[in-house]
Structure 1
């Protein structure tokens, strides 16, 4: 399984995914369609967003990869325009990274 973790991963979900055998590419800063393409979004199985300020990347990622599962793992609220495009939205205060990773892989 290949995943892209986008945004600061202060809670360690990327590490937890790697512990489950997932190949993780990490992205930070302002993201664009070319950045996502270079990171391997076309082949990725999972797109994890940890910065809801970059929520516009979710529809872009889904436009590039119809089979992509999308997850927001952040304490902030997800903007309304992206909620319907997510497979899962979780607050790190409610669910530990290891448990989330296990569920995403299993």
Structure 2
């Protein structure tokens, strides 16, 4: 599965995803050029690890409406972003290996 990860990776999610056989591309900034360069059109999962970049969910879904959006971060999403998010996981409740396995 092709996964785009946007944000920091303090929980080592990239490593967990790659260990499960997923292809991971990291986009430091979730703006349109960054997402296009990361290959959002061909991705199956959009994984956001920084709530400060929640607006990137809207951009990603605009570019790829079939994208499954997963947020792996502490805190709350704004309403506009939560409506387009498929799964929100708190890192304090579920580790990166478990999330990667479920994807």
| TM norm structure 1 | 0.93
Shift of 1:15: 1.1
Q: Establish whether residue 44 from structure 1 lines up as the match of residue 43 from structure 2.
A: yes
Instruction: Give the number of aligned pairs.
Output: 103
**Which segments of 5 or more consecutive residues in structure 1 lack a partner in the other structure?**
none
CA RMSD of aligned residues (A): 0.9
Listed one character per residue, the Cα deviations across residues 47-99 of structure 1 (whole Å, up to 9, x for unaligned) are 00000100001011011112110010001211121111001001000001100
Q: Establish whether residue 79 from structure 1 lines up as the match of residue 60 from structure 2.
A: no
CA distance in 2, matches of 1:69, 1:31: 15
Listed one character per residue, the Cα deviations across residues 13-33 of structure 1 (whole Å, up to 9, x for unaligned) are 1111110100101122x4311
After TM superposition, the structure 1 = structure 2 runs for residues 50-89 of structure 1, keeping only pairs within 5 Å, are 50-89=49-88
| TM norm structure 2 | 0.95
Q: Displaced runs of 4+ in structure 1, greater than 3 A?
A: none
Aligned to 1:7: 7
**Which segments of 5 or more consecutive residues in structure 2 lack a partner in the other structure?**
none
Shift of 1:38: 0.8
